[in-house]
A and B are shown apart, each in its own frame.
Chain A
């Protein structure tokens, strides 16, 4: 069948085409008779019914398109073609090129096209010769070819002849023709009124415009239409950020953007009434000169220093606590070990931390370069990862509790430390520390990671390495200053007790991660998470018995292995459910928070209302602690209500591009994140990641001065 349809449609096209070309459309006055197809009604129009010698008149191809059909702008986007209009004019007359009305975006599958729907006039300005004779006719012949597309594209063409009477005084066109010109004139690009520039940031080009009228209250949407193919990716989302007096639009570099030059196109700005204005934009740029200064707010050494300090502070974050437990036990076990061993242990731990940091950074950069809006801590957005972490922590806890041993009975502590394998343990502890710690971005980390991710790869990796160094530093120091280690108490029974006690933070973390799983994957997720925990317990127990020796131990080991394999069978069941779309994972029931959306924020700011934005996630412990100890407290809640502050809360537990974009607009890349927009539409003030009641309440008071 499809083949027959193919033949039929090409036959039909041929017939239609021959009909269309049959005779030129001859007309007097402002519009020729139409050439019609089921897709488009096309005429040649003039904005004057009667023309005068020496005047300029606009001659246009007027297209009225059937619903869903469109034609194209000069850069048609990923496919399609703009119309062509060849004019034949009386001697002495001059014609300019088509003045392209500002286009709309037309998405077709994964592609983005730029063009027009409903009605459009492609006009060329024509100047009559000064010696044109009143009483005669000014004859314009147009040979036009255009493409109309719905999903499928049909090329059409036509020949039109427009005869305009010449008189001493011109008469402007009226009626539908005038209205059609007026509609397209409303799309006529305006001169670019703002102080603008283009900044290269990694794979993005950020278009920055400054002007007093650019506020959240006046700009609802903005889009940059490149004049030429290949300069920016047409279909890529253009992240918009409006700060009072400043607009930032993030464009994705196209495949044939030169190293330097001018980026030409139209900046379309849509106001809150839905009215779009297109501005002619031509901005010089140079990718080379900006390449080194991507972290444009922070010099590299400073970002690196912050990263080091941030890494250090990570050690104090609740997320890292379980890992500190492991580290503490191992340190306790090293009391009395030779200095060389201590040093190597510190070194391997540091190495583990660095490798993990760099691996995560590379994964993140790769994901970014593939155009994904992912943020730091993104691995916790995967329910699979969360479940695996929960199980791993449980297994470590069981080991600490003594359910099973790792290599028990082979040797004493001192001897095992002397073995090389001890360092492998240090290395893996380092890896683990990083993987667990990432959701807690320490105060300095947000900014450092934000700038690191937009910097060139080498700089970016340096910053991540510094962060790792910071995290590992305390242990590395113990390794290199054995004097410190000597202050630890002597080995003894306390070590066993300590080890058993430290199992509990592990269990606590495992339990917490199951709760996170509940947010991400619902009941089903909890079921699978707990079933997995059960299997881990069973496997550990079997393995423990096997270790007690006896001839059948291999069977028990086999059984343990089998149980672990069963665990693998659970994994495919674990899918992200369309979990209840409630406002977030919170510690604060009874608090009235609205769900964050960029649109809601813009709306509230337009109304001039003060807004408090809280970005949180179930896996961000610092966030939850802040909510529990500060944000949900009556003092804070009352203060919010009294000051009329709207509390917007965004949940990043699962992947959410809108929140990622919002965070990135502040050059932040992790949680916690708090921002306060004062009444009257002022600029956002960022709050530190660790909150206190007075700090939050002070924000709401008018005239608190500058505390951003």
Chain B
């Protein structure tokens, strides 16, 4: 006769077995749900919370990871050289001025290109570097995101779309480069420089007055 008809656990071995089984079920729940939730929708990161990490190749062939940039303020600029809204800010040197100002203050400025292959603004590393050189742009690096993973993680909607991440990796600003959503260079002088204001506040360690604003520009050309 078997002595122990109970399912009660009585030895470490027992614990491991049933524990493992439960962990397996738990794992299945998590795994299953993540499969369920793989909707193509854009994520919406929250200001005041950790910015989504990324590990992505730049045009110099170097991997850039947000986690490795702790200690430096990080600016993300979504760009597409063929977008008229981007051309407004590069044609007027507004973007280049902001880049110089920021990098001089020790900020890491990352231009991100999320145009999918075959879509407007899609470029390889050499082309991206060439465009940057021709426009005298001075970002710290240009990130290539042709599969749109990083763009979707940040909910990047437009080019340009600007993000400021503080030294601790917390998202402090997301939104427009300024307040007048047009392609006219003449409007630059009249616009409130929302992004610049936010970056200045983060550099000074002050709270950002307008932390979420309307991004304006062309749609980011994700693969559809």
A binding-site residues for B, Cβ under 8 Å: 2-3, 6, 9-10, 76, 78-81, 84, 108-111, 113, 145, 147, 149, 151-155, 229-230, 233, 235, 255-256, 326, 329-330, 332-334, 359-360, 363, 367, 370-372, 374, 378-379, 381-385, 387-389, 392, 395-396, 399-400, 402, 405-413, 415-417, 419, 421-422, 424-426, 428-429, 431-432, 435, 493, 495-496, 498-499, 576, 655
Q: Which residue of A lies closest to B116 (CB)?
A: A109
CA distance A150 to B218 in the complex (A): 11
* Contact in complex: B4, A412 (CB < 8 Å): yes
Contact assessment for A407 and B217 in the assembled complex, using a CB-CB cutoff below 8 Å: no
Given contacts A382-B32, A425-B14, 19 further A-B contacts (CB under 8 A): A3-B127, A10-B82, A78-B157, A80-B219, A81-B181, A108-B224, A111-B219, A151-B219, A152-B83, A153-B218, A230-B214, A378-B33, A382-B31, A384-B31, A392-B25, A413-B5, A422-B8, A425-B18, A428-B9
Residues in A whose Cβ lies below 8 Å from that of B201: none
A329 to B174, CA, bound (A): 58
How many B residues have CB within 8 A of the partner chain? 72
Task: Determine if B123 is an interface residue (Cβ-Cβ < 8 Å).
Answer: yes
Q: How far is the CA of A382 from the CA of B213 in the complex (A)?
A: 38
Which of B28, B120, B181, B213 is the one whose CB lies under 8 Å from A152?
B120
**B36 lies within 8 A of A378 (CB):** yes
Which residue of B18, B32, B224 contacts A379 across the interface (Cβ within 8 Å)?
B32
Contacts of B50 in A (CB 8 A): none
Instruction: Check if A424 sits within 8 Å of B9, measured CB to CB.
Output: yes
Indicate if the CB atoms of B33 and A367 lie closer than 8 Å: yes
A-B contact pairs, 24 of them (CB 8 A): A2-B123, A10-B82, A79-B157, A81-B182, A109-B219, A110-B41, A110-B42, A145-B184, A152-B83, A153-B83, A153-B219, A330-B7, A334-B8, A363-B33, A372-B39, A384-B28, A406-B17, A413-B3, A417-B10, A419-B10, A422-B8, A422-B9, A426-B8, A431-B22
List, in ascending order, chain B residues with CB within 8 A of A493's CB. 1
Question: In the complex the two chains form, what is the Cα distance from A78 to B155 in whole Å?
Answer: 11
Nearest chain B CB to A90 CB, angstrom units: 26
Distance of A488 from chain B, by nearest CB (Å): 13
Q: Which residues of A contact B212 (CB under 8 A)?
A: 230, 255-256
Q: Say whether A3 contacts B123, CB under 8 Å.
A: yes
Report chain B residues within 8 Å CB of A367.
33, 36-37
CB distance from B4 to the nearest CB of A (A): 6
Whether, in the assembled complex, B204 has its beta carbon less than 8 Å from a beta carbon of chain A, the answer is no
Q: Which residues of B contact A359 (CB under 8 A)?
A: 26
Q: Are A388 and B28 in contact (CB under 8 A)?
A: yes
Given contacts A388-B24, A388-B28, contact A413 B14 (CB under 8 A): no
Tell me whether A405 and B4 are in contact (CB under 8 A). yes
* Shortest Cβ distance from B44 into A: residue: A255
Q: Tell me the smallest distance from the CB of B181 to a CB of chain A, in Å.
A: 5
Contact with A along B38-61 (1 / 0, CB 8 A): 011111100000000000000000
Q: How far is the CA of A388 from the CA of B33 in the complex (A)?
A: 14
In the complex, are the beta carbons of B18 and A435 less than 8 A apart? no
The answer to whether B214 touches A229 (Cβ under 8 A) is: yes
Which residues from A are CB-within-8-Å of B181? 76, 81
- In the complex, which residues of chain B have a beta carbon less than 8 angstroms from the beta carbon of A412? 3-4
Q: How far is the CA of A424 from the CA of B18 in the complex (A)?
A: 10
Partner of A109, one of B2, B83, B220: B220
B residues 113-170 in Cβ contact with A at 8 Å: 119-120, 122-123, 127, 130-131, 152, 157-158
Once the chains are docked, how many angstroms separate the CA of A3 from the CA of B120?
11
> Which residues of chain B are near A396, meaning CB under 8 Å?
7
CA distance A425 to B16 in the complex (A): 11
> How far, in whole Å, are A409 and B11 apart by their CA atoms in the complex?
11
Chain A residue nearest to B84 in the complex (CB):
A155
**Once the chains bind, are A416 and B4 in contact (CB under 8 Å)?**
yes
Contacting pair B28 A499 (CB below 8 A): no
Given A392-B21, A417-B8, A382-B182 contact (CB < 8 Å): no
The answer to whether residues A421 and B22 also contact, given A109-B219, A233-B44 and a CB cut-off of 8 A, is no
Min C-beta distance of A80 to chain B, whole Å: 8
Report whether A379 and B29 are in contact in the complex, using a CB–CB cutoff of 8 Å: yes
Chain A's nearest CB lies how many Å from the CB of B28? 4
Tell me whether B5 and A496 are in contact (CB under 8 A): yes
CB distance from A217 to the nearest CB of B (A): 32
Binding site for A on B (CB under 8 A): 1-15, 17-19, 21-22, 24-26, 28-33, 35-37, 39-44, 81-85, 87, 119-120, 122-123, 127, 130-131, 152, 157-158, 174, 181-184, 212-224
Q: How far is the CA of A80 from the CA of B158 in the complex (A)?
A: 8
B10 touches A3 (CB 8 A): no
- Determine which of A79, A389, A399, A429 lies in contact with B25 in the assembled complex, contact meaning CB atoms within 8 Å: A389
| CB of B207 to closest CB in A, whole Å | 16
B142 vs chain A, min Cβ distance (A) = 15
In the complex, what residue of chain B is closest to A3 when comparing beta carbons?
B127
Nearest Cβ in chain A — how far from B38, in angstroms?
Answer: 10
Give the contacting residue for B14; candidates A6, A154, A406, A426; CB below 8 A: A406
- Cβ-closest chain A residue relative to B214: A229
Return chain A residues, CB-CB under 8 Å to B222. 109-110
Q: What's the Cα separation between A499 and B152 when bound, in Å?
A: 53
Report yes or no: B119 in contact with A151, Cβ–Cβ below 8 A: yes
Please state if B6 and A392 are interface contacts (CB–CB under 8 Å): no
Q: Which residues of A contact B12 (CB under 8 A)?
A: 421
Nearest to B47 among chain A residues (CB) is A255
| Residue of chain A at shortest CB distance from B216 | A81
Partner of A333, one of B8, B21, B30, B224: B8
**Min C-beta distance of B135 to chain A, whole Å:** 12
Q: How far is the CA of A424 from the CA of B5 in the complex (A)?
A: 17
Contact B9 A407 (CB under 8 A): yes
Q: Is the CB of A421 within 8 A of B219?
A: no
The answer to whether B5 touches A333 (Cβ under 8 A) is yes
Which residue from A78, A229, A406, A409 sits with its C-beta under 8 Å from B7?
A406
Q: How far is B37's CA from A194's CA once the two chains are assembled, in angstroms?
A: 37
Task: Kindly state the separation between the CA atoms of A588 and B35 in the bound complex, as whole angstroms.
Answer: 31
Q: Kindly list chain B residues whose C-beta atoms are within 8 Å of the C-beta of A10.
A: 82, 87
Cβ-defined partner of A406 (8 Å) among B9, B40, B87, B123: B9
Cβ contact of B6, chosen from A333, A374, A402, cutoff 8 A: A333
Closest to A654 in B: B36
User: A330: which B residues are within 8 A, CB to CB?
Assistant: 6-8
**Residue among B4, B84, B214, B215 having the largest count of chain A Cβ atoms under 10 Å:** B4
Report the Cα distance A111→B219, complex, angstroms: 7
Q: In the bound complex, how far is the Cα of B37 from the Cα of A576, in angstroms?
A: 14
Q: Which residues of B contact A235 (CB under 8 A)?
A: 41-42
Are B24 and A392 within 8 A (Cβ)? yes
Q: A367-B37, A422-B8 are in contact. Are A385 and B28 (CB under 8 A)?
A: yes
A410 touches B36 (CB 8 A): no
Residues of B within 8 A of A155 (CB): 84, 183
| Smallest CB gap from B122: residue in A | A2
Nearest 3 A/B pairs, CB to CB: A382-B32, A333-B6, A416-B10
Q: Which residues of A contact B218 (CB under 8 A)?
A: 79-80, 149, 152-153
Question: Chain A residue with minimal CB distance to B183?
Answer: A155
Contact residues in B for A255 (Cβ distance below 8 Å) = 44, 174, 212
Measured in the bound complex, the distance between the Cα atoms of B36 and A363 in whole Å is 12
* Residue with the greatest number of chain A CB neighbours at <10 A, chosen from B6, B24, B223: B6
CB contact between A151 and one of B4, B9, B120 (< 8 Å): that residue: B120
